[in-house]
Amino acid sequence: MHRLLDVLASGVHDAKNQLFYAEAQIAAAEAAHGLDLAEARYAIEAAAGRLSRTLAAYRLLRDEARLAVVPAVVADLCEEVALDQRKHLARAGLTLDVACTVRDEWALDRDLVADILNNAIQNASRHARSRIRLSAGEADGSLCLRVEDDGCGFADTDPAAHGIGLLVAARIAELHRRQERHGSLRLCNGGEFGGAVLELRLP
Amino acid sequence: MAPPAIDFRKKRFLVVDDQPLARESLRAIAQTAGAFSVDLATGYQDAIFRIRNNVPDIILCDYMLGDGRSGQQLLEELRRFDLLPDDTIFMMVTGEQSYEQVVAAVELVPDDYIIKPFSPDKLILRLERVAAKKEFFAPFFRAKRRGDYPQALALLAANRDSEGGHTYRFELLRQEAELHIATGNAPQAEATYRGILDRYEFPWARAGVARALQRQNRLSEARSEIEKAIAGAAHYFDAADLKANICMAQGEHDEAQRVLEAIARRTPRNYLRKRLLAQAAELNGDAEAARAAMADVIANDTMPGAVSTEDQLALARTQVAAGDAIAAEKVLLLLRESEIMALPLPSQASFAALLAIASPEKGRSRFAGLRPALLAVELPPSVRLDVLQAALAGGDGELAEKQAQALLAGDDSRLVFNRMRQLFSLYDGDPLFREIQRRVALQRIGRGETDAGAAGVGEATAAP
């Protein structure tokens, strides 16, 4: 079965290279002709993100997933996610606030965690009225990342009720381990804006 | 977005990718990000050539370079030959999930890595982060390059409580631990790596503990730590090198050879590893494998200056071990007298010993000339083995005994024990060897050493 995973991974890899080629062409055209094709680039990156997530889900379901944990500066991570999302949200009339109070580098899988946050913000954008907030803080020795919106909240706060994306996110959170503790994903309602809250805790 | 803090128009970029489309994409992204000068390299060799001639400010290197090469290998090679100035940015570009696994495990990492596809804005953001980090560490790197280690350590300590000290807390600890290793303070390095592990089980930090223990000659602990690091990271090839070194010091040459062969199959063009494999195979008595590995190094390690006179000596050594005196003589006689005279005394001793074994006629007088020195000075274990063999081959019992005693009594006795026994056996010296072992063991007991050290010493005292 190892073969199948290799075939899938190599297919995803090639597809992402093609997408990168497309994005580079678009970026060059934007620069050359003074265009703004940010939405086209956003769609390309979203497609690439979806491919990666599908592969990650496959690995997780087969229990073959391994994190790539590196020291990451939390404020930088938040800023990057904001960079990926802010323009797109603005087109939908939504603002994204970022609040990070964590000074320290944190050991986490930077790319998978960024993907979870990107995905959470995309989800939030479908329900938010006008605002979304991404915040990072420390609680009980854990890193606490939250995505909140001012929509009407989750009808069901069980991550399993929300399809594969959140299941994968919950599993990735859980794979983050330090000494005896492991990470978690929690959905609730309320928060700063009174809407849906997704909270990712990493030890 | 705020205007970039770096003026990319003034920076020289180098894009390294074997795929033309991907290369063009990277160039387009760099240019959109503001780059004016973007040089292109089509692969590993081309990149080395360009970097040697004109060091770029920013390298964007794809992880997959084709031809059995990876961006990680390029990075390792650039560091090995010190071709990257401290302020050059090396950014790995990858579409590969597997590279993230590599970067999470290994000690030698690029400044950052970025996953395709990405926008010019994201590239700018990442490069600015790297530049800020480099600026933060610049005084430290300058002190380290000067060899002013106390100052470098003091800078790390002073930074720990600063704002940046929080932002880069793992990097500060990693640099501190590496500095302790470099300055020979293994206990402090161990403590620092363990401090990192208290926060997270990074494979590179676990391997660091193993290395620090190895330096303290606490080999079985080192072995168990390195096994843990390897279990946590399948892509961590350097950990296998360290494991092999520990195995050799423990006298387990077959395991060392097995580990290195398995990894070398996956990294066929890592010639530092091939050198290590040759050493392990030779100590393991597998002369043919040793010879094949060294021949591969000398034929294919194409970096200018990579193949040294020491490598030629190592090749000759494997040929002598394989019983091919003619080939060994040929390699040795190709060395110029000026090259030999430029070698440090131990290497000259190896040269003289190997030539004396391969061609007694041509080598005897040089070896005889060194004899007084060889009786008197300290020599590394590999050199003592060469001298021992030449002495046995030439019937010089006194010189042979002197080398064998020093080897058995030294810290590396497990490393060389098997090879020593083979050599005595080869020259019908088994009784002499047993006698020397007995004497060394008695000396140790006389000094009140309860741990007789070499596995072989215990064996010998029990022998009839």
Among partner residues A12, A30, A103, which is closest to B167 by beta-carbon distance?
A: A103
Per the CB < 8 Å rule, is B100 touching A23? no
Shared-domain flag, residues B354 and B450: yes
Please report whether residue B322 resides in a domain: no
Task: Check residue B4 and report its DSSP letter.
Answer: P
Instruction: Indicate which CATH number applies to the domain containing B187.
Output: 1.25.40.10
Q: Are residues B57 and B124 in the same domain?
A: yes
Decide if B104 and A27 are in contact by the 8 Å CB cutoff.
Answer: no
- The answer to the question of residue B304 being in a domain is no
Structural domain ending residue among the three candidates B134, B163, B198: B134
**B167:A111 CB<8 A:** no
- Please tell me whether residues B165 and B57 are part of one structural domain: no
Cα distance between residue A122 and residue A128, in whole Å: 10
Tell me, what's the pLDDT at B278? 97
How far does B284 lie from chain A, in Å, by closest CA?
34
Of A23, A80, A107, the CB nearest to B117: A23
**Domain-embedded: residue B122:** yes
Are residues B38 and B124 both part of a single domain? yes
Query: Do B97 and B172 fall into the same domain?
Result: no
Q: B196 and B117, same structural domain?
A: no
Q: Is residue B317 part of a domain?
A: no
Q: Report if residue B158 sits inside a domain.
A: yes
Q: B359 in a domain, yes or no?
A: yes
Within 5-64 of A, beta carbons closer than 8 Å to B belong to 9, 12-13, 16-17, 19-25, 27-28, 30-31, 41, 44-45, 48, 52, 55-56
Same domain, B193 and B117: no
CB-facing half-sphere around the CA of A174: CA atoms within 13 A: 10
Flag whether B422 is in a domain: yes
Domain endpoint, select from B250, B279, B300: B250
Interface test with A, best of B17, B18, B19, B32 (most A CBs within 10 A): B32
Q: Which of B201, B224, B250 is the last residue of a domain?
A: B250
Q: B406: exposed, middle or buried (C-beta count within 10 Å: 0-12, 13-18, 19+)?
A: middle
- In-domain check, residue B417: yes
Residue-range definition of the domain harbouring residue B234: 147-250
Strands B12-16 and B58-62: parallel
In this complex, is the C-beta atom of A170 within 8 Å of any C-beta atom belonging to chain B? no
The number of domains in chain B is 3
Rg, chain A, Cα only: 17
Does B29 sit within 8 Å of A27, measured CB to CB?
yes
pLDDT at A57: 86
Task: Provide ipTM, 2 decimals.
Answer: 0.93
Q: Are residues B105 and B29 in the same domain?
A: yes
Q: Are residues B179 and B124 in the same domain?
A: no
Calpha distance B412→A162 (Å, rounded)? 61
Let me know whether B206 and B165 are in one domain.
yes
Residues B129 and B152 in one domain: no
What distances in angstroms separate CA B318 from CA B274, B286, B323, B329, B338, one per listed residue? 13, 9, 9, 12, 23
Strand A70-73 and strand A105-108: the pairing is antiparallel
Per-residue pLDDT of chain B (464 residues; tens, 9 = 90+): 444 578 898 999 999 999 999 999 999 999 999 999 999 999 999 999 999 999 999 999 999 998 888 999 999 999 989 999 999 999 999 987 778 888 989 989 999 999 999 999 999 999 999 999 999 999 999 999 999 999 999 999 998 888 778 889 999 999 999 999 999 999 999 999 999 999 999 999 999 999 999 999 999 999 999 999 999 888 889 999 999 999 999 999 999 999 999 999 988 989 999 999 999 999 999 999 999 999 999 999 988 788 999 999 999 999 999 999 999 999 999 999 999 999 999 999 999 999 999 999 999 999 999 999 999 999 999 999 999 999 999 999 999 999 999 999 988 899 999 999 999 999 999 999 999 999 998 888 887 765 544 444 444 433 33
Same domain membership, residue B71 and residue B190:
no
Distance separating alpha carbons of residues B24 and B15, to the nearest angstrom: 9
Tens of pLDDT along A66-98? 899 999 999 999 999 999 999 999 999 999 999
